[in-house]
Amino acid sequence: MKRIALSISLITLSLSAFSQDYAGASAESAQPVRPMEANLGAEHMKFRGEYVSGPLDLFCEKMARKGFAYEVPEPNGASLIGTFAGYPECHLIVSTNNHKVNKVEVHFPRRHVWSELAYDYYSLKEMLIKKYGEPKDTLEEFISHEPKDDYTKLMKVKQHLCTFYVKFELPGGEITLSLSKASRYNPCVILTYEDAINSRKEETKAYEDL
């Protein structure tokens, strides 16, 4: 009888310890995820099948294998040229954040007339909607009023007097189609691929410091 009582006591103690460990583990797993730690395992944005991430030299090498030629260094990045979406001589502006690629801008050919610029913008917008669905945000307007002629519309783009963009939100980041506002040159359409993870590195560091 003593042996049976001892065995029962040992089993009871073991079950009690297991219950306490399980409860502790459940409490730890139930801890809320800090905002800046959320989605750290999410996939990076992709451009031409390559992740918008990693060292600048390696990313440029990958783009070179896809037909883009290296042009000149850019502040915190590089510039390449090649064919994109059927458009020849597109310029790629690759940017970095904390020594990692975080953004790629495609600068389509510059246009001398509004009709060509508008065609590029709206045709690319239509293709993006077919591929990614409805945009997250859209704004297409001229400041004060819409011009009646194409020449004035083009001049308003050059003079920063209009806003045209459409944004698409993806799991890995954001894609933005917009009109350039460069006043020194003829304007063009710009397509931007921005990686969410690498673009928030500076914010993450600041969060850890607080």
Please report the DSSP string for 149-167 in residue order.
SHHHHHHHHHTT-EEEEEE
What integer pLDDT is reported at residue 200 of this predicted model?
Answer: 81
Residue 123 carries which side chain, given as an amino acid letter? S
Q: Which residues of the chain have pLDDT under 70?
A: 1-42, 182-184, 201-210
CB 176 within 8 A of CB 165: yes
pLDDT digits (tens, 9 = 90+) for 130-170: 999 999 999 999 998 889 999 999 999 998 899 999 999 99
What integer pLDDT is reported at residue 137 of this predicted model?
Answer: 96
Which pTM was predicted? 0.75
Indicate the domain borders of the chain: 2-31, 46-205
How far apart (Å, rounded) are the C-alpha atoms in residues 210 and 208?
6
What integer pLDDT is reported at residue 42 of this predicted model?
Answer: 58
* Number of other CB atoms surrounding residue 109 within 10 Å: 15
What integer pLDDT is reported at residue 71 of this predicted model?
Answer: 85
How far apart (Å, rounded) are the C-alpha atoms in residues 67 and 80?
10
Question: How would you class 170 by CB atoms within 10 Å of its CB: exposed for 0-12, middle for 13-18, buried for 19 or more?
Answer: middle
What integer pLDDT is reported at residue 100 of this predicted model?
Answer: 92
Block residue for tokens 């502040």 = 75
CB 92 within 8 A of CB 68: yes
From residue 4, give the alpha-carbon distance in Å to each of 16, 60, 104: 18, 74, 73
CB 147 within 8 A of CB 156: yes
